[in-house]
Structure 1
């Protein structure tokens, strides 16, 4: 299903847009932890994301799903998790994976769930296999971003990306974008984004890049 741009994958995003301050993007904030899984012969086979949502989204998402004082469990979140997982393909899984500079195609989601953590933030877990496993070049890059910047994705400070069963010598790091100046931040109003030309992909300019280097 497709709603509009970056809102397609998250069932509550439109409600959040109405509740969020009208003055600025983004409206939803997500902390990202990712894994790249390798096959026994050294090929990248899948990307696993764990996305933790901000307090406002989490509060909306959990309303009425559990008794007071109880955390919302995966089975209670199953309908919303299914909607979110189903909408991801429409937005390219918010993930751009490049191998030697060439964009890699993804297959269909194979596993997903949502749950409320003890800190009351909602976590969304999703596994996306590559259309075909690829042999990693010397440099593989991955960005997780909403091109419209409705959703702000940012890699976790402590454990942003992990490699599962990588070839010997492979490593991962994250390059973060240069912070915006105060004057530039002031320009990020709704009218600014409304007047952007189609295909501007402003969210990519704000995104961090995971870099996987293999010998």
Structure 2
């Protein structure tokens, strides 16, 4: 499956295919997401899930809302509920663009819950959903969380303010964000070529630009 088709299938129901076909040939990545992540803890101190809030860029948001309500009106959750369901269910094919590692193991996820789309007064759309871990994980000494598209057709960046929240974490737990290393000359060349050819710079390129949230508990 080509990277272009991969992204189109992920969010086709939200109009991303139309957005991509209307974009200039050098528009890469095609979707920009600002992510706020919340790590959910159980009373025993184990991590049970990740609550995502992904805010989409203005161009993508405009395609999402096109024709769904009166022009200029802010859409309600109810109006966007069918799109939220289809979109979240489609994310499973791509691993929810989410990687959680603890104790040297990568966590597996259950079906997403508590999902909805909302449109804010500035006309940007945010996707909310909770991703439960199939098996709870300890954040001792650390748990890492990364949200990224390996092909880099969707660019994820953590929010500048409060990018990672800890919900019901034990005393002494903390979070930090690790920025990616600067790309070397070879990677910059690949990215430049991808920019002009409208192709992905590689199936694993996104991880090189991914920010990582590190959660540490005593």
Q: What TM-score results when the alignment is normalised by the length of structure 1?
A: 0.90
1:204 to 203, 207, 210: 207
Q: CA deviation at 1:83?
A: 1.0
CA distance in 1, matches of 2:66, 2:20: 17
Measured after TM superposition, the shift of residue 132 of structure 1 is: 1.7
Superposition pairs of residues 120-135 of structure 1, within 5 angstroms: 120-135=123-138
Alignment check: 8 A CA contact 1:6 1:148 kept: no
Q: Distance in 2 between matches of 1:155 and 1:22?
A: 26
1:97 matches 2:119 = no
Runs of 4+ in 1 over 6 A off after TM superposition: none
Identify if the C-alpha distance between structure 1 residues 82 and 123 changes in structure 2 by more than 3 Å, giving closer, same or farther.
Answer: same
Which consecutive unaligned segments of at least 5 residues does structure 2 have? none
- For this pair of structures, how many residues does the alignment match? 210
Gaps of 5+ in 1: none
Q: TM-score, normalising length from structure 2?
A: 0.89
The residue aligned with 1:175 is: 178
Contact preservation (8 Å) 2:48, 2:136: yes
Residues 151, 200 of structure 2: 8 Å contact kept: no
Give the superposition deviation at 1:27: 0.4
1:14 corresponds in structure 2 to 17
**TM alignment of 1:20-35, pairs within 5 A:** 20-35=23-38
The answer to whether the aligner puts 1:5 opposite 2:22 as a matched pair is no
CA 1:126 to 1:192, structure 2 compared with 1: closer, same or farther past 3 Å?
same
CA RMSD in angstroms comes to 2.1
Which of 193, 198, 213 aligns to 2:199? It is 193
- Structure 1 or 2: larger helix share? 2
